[in-house]
Amino acid sequence: MPDRLTWRPMTGADLDAVAAIALIAFPNHFEDRACFENRLALHPEGCFVLAGQDGAPAGYCLAYPWIADAVPAVNARIETLPDDPAVLYLHDLALHPSARGGGRSHAIVMRLVDLARDLGLPAIALVAVNAAEGFWRGHGFRPHDTPALTQKLAAAYGADACYMVRPI
């Protein structure tokens, strides 16, 4: 991977690469290309790819306004975004293994902080999977458990899934 990777807005031309990176990053939580296409169509302002000068994605990030203490089903299409969202939901942040390091995740998290602020949302929420709770703690997120949500997450994502929130 080139050293000069930067975050840019996602386009439809990026979706095949995004789906391929997702397979590597989240092999146990499959989401197809149509899921990413759906999120891009619903909220392009929260969709980004990490790319070099050649434009080829080496990572991606999807975020959109959502309901607090709730998560969309895995690999499900969303018809509309909520009329009265309470958080910016960070659906995915994934980097190809060759693009990890160098503070690249910090840069996009800060961009999402700005986006949440611009949207008037008080927090960013996510579901940490693949034992990533420590990674997200490093970005200012903290676990936020509710019994119903914990049960739902365990069924959909596995026992280590953790709903986390970062206040803005």
Mean pLDDT of 153-160: 88
Q: Which amino acid is at 132?
A: A
On whether the CB atoms of residues 52 and 104 are closer than 8 A, the answer is no
Other CB atoms within 10 Å distance of the CB of residue 13: 10
Predicted local confidence at residue 52, as pLDDT: 92
Q: pLDDT digit string (tens) for 43-91? A: 999 999 999 989 999 999 999 999 999 999 999 999 999 999 999 999 9
Where are the chain's structural domains? Answer: 6-167
How far apart (Å, rounded) are the C-alpha atoms in residues 6 and 78? 28
Reported pTM: 0.94
Q: Find the mean pLDDT for residues 21-27.
A: 94
CATH superfamily of 6-167: Gcn5-related N-acetyltransferase (GNAT) (3.40.630.30)
Question: What are the angstrom distances between the C-alpha of 148 and each of 70, 114, 130, 152?
Answer: 10, 30, 21, 6
Q: pLDDT at residue 3 above 70? A: no
- pLDDT the model gives residue 1: 42
- Ramachandran angles phi, psi of 66, nearest 5°: -150, -175
Tell me the pLDDT band of 104, cut-offs 50, 70 and 90.
very high
Side by side, the strands of the sheet bearing 123-128 are: 6-9, 47-51, 57-66, 87-95, 123-128, 162-167, 142-143
